[in-house]
């Protein structure tokens, strides 16, 4: 997800979005007012001030989620979807019972005139009555009858009603998590965990008909530690990777080792960490010119491989085998990878390549 986001930002940039609504039927004044409301809301993200979600979203939606707009940070957990520098085209607006449903396309037109669609969104706007004003309703609130809830341990699971809950996987997550929490001294916290089997189901849950990356069928997820909120696709009830972000990010998110440590402890993309070591070994055989002295800036040709997390995960493995959690906590204290390699191994950057290759050969299976 992180590398996918990097490519989105690289290609689409950060310009203010342009909004087109030339395809809207202007015969219904309620629909027109709802569209004006939508355009006003999207325009808030072109400003530097924080968006007042309570002004735009229903009380029920705000009560369910600290940030009721589940689409705004779905592509990036730190940068709003609506500020990715694209053309927003409203192509559908129609009354659906007590709401107006607005469908919009977020796209980018390159200099060669090719058009890339990276999101198709559905927004439901409640038609006001009495002294009320227009307000968005979160899709998960509006369509809550389509989802089930199940509490297991400290986790509240939410999933499509057509999906069976796997108690075995939920128990497996609790067992793994308990071991890590005890070792690190974390206290259990309540977590809201939304999961689906497919990317399409997850997009619908969050208000998309499509978003950039949905065509990838590998397990994925995104976490919001401040909200203790997780969205997971393809991993079912035991996406330990995203759960650990809820615990580790509040303390260690600025550490260059934090995400790599989570890969070491929990794996990612549906695989354990050993899979990434083996994948890294295969990658170096295929691309022997790869310079691992620059591992922290390399964009790999293999989208399934996170070279930076794999290399630093191997460092975590080395230290963990000798010193356990105390050593891992020390690694998390380094502000840069250069400082880590110099202090831990007395290595300058130019010497990293040979050192890392040796460790990959040692740990591959």
Q: Which residues pair with 45 in a beta bridge?
A: none
Residue by residue, DSSP assigns 80-132 as -GGGSS-EEEEEEEEEETTEEEEEEEEEEE-TTS-EEEEEEEEEEEEPP-TT-
- Indicate whether 49 belongs to any domain: yes
174 phi and psi angles, rounded to 5 deg = -60, -40
8 Å CB contact between 67 and 227: yes
The pLDDT tens digits for 47-86 are 767 899 999 999 999 999 999 999 999 888 778 888 775 7
Residue where one domain finishes, among candidates 141, 159, 189: 141
d(CA 258, CA 309): 9
Asked whether residue 7 falls in the same domain as residue 74, the answer is: yes
Q: How many domains does the chain have?
A: 3
End position of a domain, from candidates 247, 265, 285: 247
Is residue 253 a part of any domain in this protein?
no
**pTM for the whole structure:** 0.89
Same domain, 158 and 35: no
Q: Are residues 135 and 183 in the same domain?
A: no
> Does any domain span residue 82?
yes
Q: Are residues 126 and 164 in the same domain?
A: no
What tens digit of pLDDT does each residue of 94-143 get? 999 999 999 999 888 777 877 888 899 999 999 999 888 999 999 999 99
**Dist. CA 63–CA 52, nearest whole Å:** 14
Whether residue 213 lies inside any domain: the answer is: yes
Percentage of the residues of the chain whose pLDDT score is greater than 70? 93
Q: Assign 240 to helix, strand or coil.
A: helix
* Cα four-point dihedral sign 200, 205, 206, 207: positive
According to the model, what pLDDT value does residue 224 have? Answer: 92
CATH number at residue 186: 3.40.30.160
Q: What pLDDT digit, counting tens, does each position of 308-363 carry?
A: 999 999 999 999 999 999 999 999 999 999 999 999 999 999 999 999 999 999 99
- Lowest-pLDDT range of 76-90, 175-189, 250-264: 76-90
Output the domain CATH number for residue 126: 3.10.450
Together in a domain, 27 and 96:
yes
Q: Which of 212, 221, 270 is nearest to 245 (CA)?
A: 221
Specify burial of residue 254 (Cβ count, 10 A radius: 0-12, 13-18, 19+). Answer: exposed
Q: Is residue 258 part of a domain?
A: no
Residues 104, 120, single domain; the answer is yes
Q: 113 and 94 in one domain?
A: yes
Residue 188 has pLDDT above 50, yes or no: yes
Q: Which value, to the nearest 10 degrees, does the dihedral of the CA atoms of residues 178, 180, 183, 187 take?
A: -60
**Is residue 163 assigned to a domain?**
yes
**Could you report how far apart the first and last alpha carbons of the chain are, in Å?**
26
Do 38 and 152 lie in one domain? The reply is: no
* Pair 138, 70: CB distance under 8 Å: yes
Q: What is the DSSP letter of 147?
A: E
- pLDDT category at 6 given cuts 50, 70, 90 is very low
Same domain? For 128 and 156 the reply is no
| 3-state SS class at 298 | coil
Q: Is 166 exposed, middle or buried (0-12, 13-18, 19+ CB in 10 A)?
A: middle
> 182 and 116: one domain?
no
CA distance linking residue 137 with residue 69, whole number of Å: 9
* Nearest CA-CA partner of 331 in 345, 342, 347, 315: 315
Q: Which of 110, 141, 172 is the last residue of a domain?
A: 141
Q: Which of 105-114, 126-135, 194-203, 218-227 has the lowest mean pLDDT?
A: 105-114
Assigned domain for 259 exists:
no
Kindly state whether residues 189 and 287 are assigned to the same domain: no
133 and 8 housed in the same domain: yes
CB 311 within 8 A of CB 273: no
Residue 27 belongs to domain spanning:
2-141
Instruction: Give domain status of residue 262, yes or no.
Output: no
């Amino acid at each position: 997800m992180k590398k996918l986001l990097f490519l989105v930002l690289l290609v689409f940039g950060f310009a203010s979005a342009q909004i087109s609504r030339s395809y809207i039927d202007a015969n219904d004044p309620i629909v027109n007012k709802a569209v004006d409301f939508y355009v006003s809301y999207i325009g808030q993200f072109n400003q530097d001030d924080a968006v007042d979600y309570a002004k735009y979203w229903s009380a029920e939606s705000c009560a369910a989620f600290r940030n009721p707009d589940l689409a705004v940070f779905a592509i990036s957990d730190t940068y709003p979807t609506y500020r990715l520098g694209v053309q927003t085209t409203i192509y559908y607006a129609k009354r659906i019972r007590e709401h107006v449903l607005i469908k919009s396309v977020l796209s980018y037109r390159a200099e060669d005139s090719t058009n890339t669609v990276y999101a198709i969104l559905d927004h439901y706007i409640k038609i006001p009555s009495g002294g009320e004003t227009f307000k968005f309703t979160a899709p998960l609130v509006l369509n809550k009858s389509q989802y089930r809830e199940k509490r297991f341990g400290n986790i509240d699971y939410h999933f499509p009603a057509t999906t069976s809950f796997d108690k075995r996987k939920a128990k497996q997550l609790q067992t793994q998590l308990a071991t890590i929490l005890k070792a690190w001294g974390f206290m259990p916290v309540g977590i809201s965990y939304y999961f689906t089997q497919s990317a399409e189901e997850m997009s619908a849950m969050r208000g998309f008909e499509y978003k950039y990356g949905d065509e990838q069928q590998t397990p994925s997820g995104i976490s919001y530690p401040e909200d203790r909120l997780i969205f997971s696709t393809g991993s079912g009830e035991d996406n330990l990777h995203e759960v650990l972000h809820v615990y580790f990010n509040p303390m260690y998110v600025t550490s260059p080792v934090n995400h790599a440590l989570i890969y070491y402890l929990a794996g990612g993309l549906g695989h354990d960490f050993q899979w990434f070591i083996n994948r890294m070994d295969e990658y170096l055989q295929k691309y022997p010119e790869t310079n691992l002295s620059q591992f922290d800036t390399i964009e790999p040709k293999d989208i399934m491989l996170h070279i930076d997390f794999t290399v630093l995960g191997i460092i975590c493995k080395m230290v963990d085998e000798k010193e356990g959690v105390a050593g891992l906590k020390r690694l998390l204290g380094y502000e840069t990878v250069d400082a880590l390699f110099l202090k831990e191994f007395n290595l300058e950057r130019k010497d990293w390549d040979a050192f890392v290759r040796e460790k990959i050969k040692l740990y591959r299976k």
